[in-house]
Amino acid sequence: MGKWRRRNYQLGGSRALTYPSDITVGEEASVAGSRLLLIDPRGEIDENDLEEFMEKHVEPVFWKWWEQKKAAKRPKIEGIMRPMEAEVEKVLPVQPQDVNPGPPVYLVSCRHCGGQIAWRLDLGPRGGCPYCGAWLQLTV
């Protein structure tokens, strides 16, 4: 495994780069990718296999890693939080609150359409179904 930085140069209507001298090359090379390139300089691996590997394994993981690395390099700005920088705050348990009860509500099914109605008794025992319009009388 090695790493190199190479200059791109114009070759006819294409851009090209040269391989380092210690890389073994074949007659043709297999290449897959778009912004990132995966190259088999000997051409022993089919370009479709390289493309499948690139799409499934390299691209998704690389871009996540790259964004995290870029975020870590950004200068700290007061009041702005970078990813994974949040501190855990101590959370207090929720305190129960006293609530005044409202009017009694009954869940009623309409005898005509079967629609469910939340029936408030403070509005009276008679009313219409909001779904089918049938007049109903609640008996408790």
pLDDT band at 46 (very low <50, low <70, confident <90, very high): very high
Which of 23, 49, 73 is at the close of a domain? 73
Chain mean pLDDT for the chain: 83
> Does residue 69 share a domain with residue 20?
yes
Q: What is the C-alpha separation between 9 and 100, in angstroms, rounded? A: 79
Q: What is the C-alpha separation between 68 and 73, in angstroms, rounded? A: 9
Total structural domains within the chain: 2
Which whole number is the average pLDDT over 56-68?
Answer: 86
Share of the chain above pLDDT 90, in %: 8
Residue 94 lies in a domain: no
> Does residue 114 share a domain with residue 65?
no
Given this model, what pLDDT does residue 49 score?
92
The boundaries of the domain holding residue 133 are 105-137
Burial class, 32, CB count within 10 angstroms (exposed 0-12 / middle 13-18 / buried 19+): buried
Which residues are bridge partners to 116 per DSSP?
Answer: 109
> Does residue 64 share a domain with residue 19?
yes
Residue 2 lies in a domain: no
Question: Of 126, 127, 132, nearest to 113 (Cα)?
Answer: 132
